[in-house]
A and B are shown apart, each in its own frame.
Chain A
Amino acid sequence: MAVASLATACLPPRVLRDYPRWRIVGGQSFARDCLRAEAYVRKSGKTGIGVTLVLRSLHDCAVEIRRAELVFPDGHRAAATADARALAPMVGRTLRYHWLPLPFDNDAAWDDGQRDATLELELAIAGQPVVWRMPAQHRWDQRWNDTRLVRR
């Protein structure tokens, strides 16, 4: 084992490609009436992004997601489907992780140099419409991952 450890230590690190990633850079938390919410980009790749909405209700709370779009400065919009937006009723004090995929051609967006967009969620809380806007950026912080030092 000692020999193996020494051999591993002497080997050069394996440096692998990293990938660009969309991040929400503002307005990540939201509070209105009976709803407290946060949004996190959990997946980001060629076919779009996937966002987890962390939804907490303070009591029975009728919440709808009427529209969920990633809006680019040139007007192009990537929208979530109706199925992806469907929410079951939130009864009492509820914590729910809602998966919200936003499919679009992210390769084309990257190649076109589109690095900024806004994640817009039009909600209805107890029937009252409200728009939750979150600026997002497509960043590539590191081009390579050193797998000897950084294990994912």
Chain B
Amino acid sequence: MTRTICAIRGALPAVLLALAGCPSLVQHSTRHAPGQVDLSQPPAREVGDPAAYDPPDDPGENRVAILPGASWGMGAGRTGGSAGEVAVQLRFTFPESRDRSLGKDEFPAPWAAWGGTIGWGIAQPPLDSMQHPSHRTVGGPIYAEVNRTWLYATVGVGAAIYPSSPEVGPQISATAAIYMVRARYLPESGFEIFGGFQLELPTVWTWSR
């Protein structure tokens, strides 16, 4: 287990860095493509040069990012003992710093963005099955969060639901780059908390303001 964790810790930063420099993850729409001009003023310097042209200013751009991701965390799960949680999720963000358009190969890590996440804890395998043979793998909850993102850090607040019970409770999460902490409280089974790793594969769409 330790070796696996070390392997993940070694590989994920490299993957993250590779993704950050991958231009194909940014899709630039041609909508509203013209730039910003001030027609109230003539060109600053007019000498009748046929080739002269005042290039427009950057109007900035709108952006939306969709980040499918997966996470693996260890901590206290629904069964009461130590457990892991494997989850998949889909996060959307709407970055706010839009005054400058991105360069061709520039990947936008947002200074600040609101967003939302929906996710599913696929499974919570027990990590203490040697000591507690009765602990079995159980399914995790479905969750939804509102997120606030700053660069590579995100905090989220929302709710988790175990559809089979059904049992609903609040959930909070925090991520920084590939590191993740997620906690929730369910009225019947109590607190759950997991810390671990999360990897997201971002795709960003941009279009001119």
Contact = CB atoms under 8 A, between A and B. Distances in A.
Name the residue in B28, B59, B104, B105 with the highest tally of chain A Cβ atoms < 10 Å from its Cβ: B104
Interface size class of B (residues with CB under 8 A): 20 to 34
B34 A110 contact: yes
Given A43-B39, A52-B43, A111 B31 contact: yes
Nearest to A12: B105
A42 B103 contact: no
Nearest to B104: A15
Contact of A140 (B33, B36, B58): B33
B45 to A, nearest CB: 10
Given A12-B105, A16-B103, A43 B37 contact: yes
A26 B48 CA distance: 17
A44 interface: yes
A32 interface: no
Interface in B13-49: 28, 30-40, 42-43, 46, 48
Central interface residue in A50, A97, A106, by most chain B CB within 10 Å: A50
B10 interface: no
A19 B39 CA distance: 16
A15 to B, nearest CB: 4
Interface in A20-62: 20-21, 28, 38, 40-50, 52, 54
Interface in A75-111: 95, 97, 99, 101-103, 106-107, 110-111
Contact of B43 (A28, A43, A54): A43
User: Chain A contact residues (Cβ within 8 angstroms of B): what range?
Assistant: 35 or more
A106 B103 CA distance: 23
A136 to B, nearest CB: 14
Nearest to A111: B31
Nearest to A54: B48
Identify the interface centre among A12, A44, A111: most chain B CB within 10 Å of its CB: A44
A152 B52 CA distance: 11
A interface majority secondary structure: strand
Given A17-B58, A152-B55, A44 B37 contact: yes
B56 interface: yes
B54 A42 contact: yes
28 contacts: A12-B105, A16-B58, A16-B101, A16-B103, A17-B103, A17-B104, A42-B54, A43-B39, A43-B53, A43-B54, A44-B34, A45-B34, A45-B35, A45-B36, A45-B39, A45-B56, A46-B59, A50-B54, A54-B48, A95-B48, A97-B42, A97-B46, A99-B42, A99-B46, A101-B40, A102-B39, A143-B28, A144-B103
